[in-house]
Amino acid sequence: MAALGIPQNTISILKKYDIHFQKKYGQNFLIDTHVLEKIIRAAEITGDDFVMEIGPGIGTMTQYLCENAREVLAVEIDRNLLPVLQETLSDYQNVTVLNEDILKMDIGRIAEEYNGGKPIKVVANLPYYITTPIIMELFESHVPLESVTVMVQKEVADRMQAGPGTKEYGALSLAVQYYAEAEIAANVPQNCFMPRPNVGSAVIRLICHKENPVKVLDEKFMFRLIRASFNQRRKTLQNGLCNDMGLSLKKEDVRDALEQMGLPLEVRGERLSLQEFAKLSDLLSGR
């Protein structure tokens, strides 16, 4: 089967199956062999790896994954693409295609079934309308993960990688960095996709920590604090936390905690590192 990274091949397969791009599924197919090679290199796929691909589309990246990995599981929501995938992946014996919604799947069970419970690699050109829910679901459900290498909106990649004090820094940066080390592997312009998306894209590589970089007594509480701190970005951290009804924190407790940490009372959440949020969480949880 001809490589789909070459635009002419993608065009002819789309015509043959009369495929119309489904905007509601975030369908922007890759048509650039250099970008595909970069993704495979960034994900460091070897012949020992089991790889889960989210949204194979017409199988463009899947072909590369099959060439390089031991086994590939591709999860595609759009039923219309199944006959296409049957043809475009017909050369490979090491691939299974599941017609499912990734957000409704038990991915832990996939790792168990296909990889004996060992950490898996996830590779995807993600549908942008659900990038954050997919990534957070992978991390928060404690699926055994080695790495997640994904194409996302450039702006989202910047947020994942951002550090304290920058305008991109927020709840997503802290959540991602709690679970993984984030590194942008490539910036990808709009003309590498068909149809062209409205925004620039980037490949981000998330290497999952074997151990979380900070210890915190109550992980859930820390993330509630983080969300509350960034919900009202313009407010001081103290006001942001005290105004959050769900947290029901007393002003004097927050003030005492900030003082204990040697932070000024007017500090904003965007100044705090993950380590500082963990410490603040330990001081306030159970109050």
Name which position in 19, 25, 182, 208 contacts ligand SAM (CB under 6 A). 25
Q: Contact between 179 and ligand SAM (CB under 6 A)?
A: no
In the complex with ligand SAM, which residue's Cβ is closer, 61 or 180? Answer: 61
Instruction: Return contacts of 249-256, CB within 8 angstroms, 24+ apart.
Output: 249/284, 249/287, 250/287, 253/284, 253/287, 254/284, 256/283
Please tell me the distance from the alpha carbon of residue 30 to that of residue 123, in angstroms, as a whole number.
Answer: 14
Q: Contact between 50 and ligand SAM (CB under 6 A)?
A: no
Please tell me the distance from the alpha carbon of residue 193 to that of residue 10, in angstroms, as a whole number.
Answer: 11
Which among 11-19, 26-34, 175-183, 273-281 is the span making contact with ligand SAM, rule CB under 6 A?
A: 26-34
CB of 39 to ligand SAM, least distance (A): 9
Site for ligand SAM in 97-156 (CB under 6 A): 101-103, 125, 127, 130
Instruction: Return contacts of 239-244, CB within 8 angstroms, 24+ apart.
Output: 240/269, 241/284
Instruction: Indicate the length of the chain as a whole number.
Output: 287
Q: Contact between 172 and ligand SAM (CB under 6 A)?
A: no
Name which position in 13, 30, 148, 249 contacts ligand SAM (CB under 6 A). 30
> Which amino acid, 240?
G
Query: Which residue's Cβ lies closest to ligand SAM?
Result: 55
CB of 20 to ligand SAM, least distance (A): 12
Judge whether 29 and 57 are in contact, CB under 8 Å: yes
Name which position in 28, 115, 201, 236 contacts ligand SAM (CB under 6 A). 28
In the complex with ligand SAM, which residue's Cβ is closer, 188 or 272? Answer: 188
Q: Contact between 1 and ligand SAM (CB under 6 A)?
A: no
| Binding mask of the shown chain, residues 52 to 91, with x at each position contacting ligand SAM by CB under 6 A | --xxxx--xx-------------xxxx-------------
In the complex with ligand SAM, which residue's Cβ is closer, 79 or 210? Answer: 79
The count of residues interacting with ligand SAM (CB under 6 A) is 22
Site for ligand SAM in 182-211 (CB under 6 A): none
Q: Contact between 223 and ligand SAM (CB under 6 A)?
A: no
Q: Contact between 269 and ligand SAM (CB under 6 A)?
A: no
Which among 96-104, 109-117, 174-182, 218-226 is the span making contact with ligand SAM, rule CB under 6 A?
A: 96-104
The residues binding ligand SAM (CB under 6 A) are: 25-30, 54-57, 60-61, 75-78, 101-103, 125, 127, 130
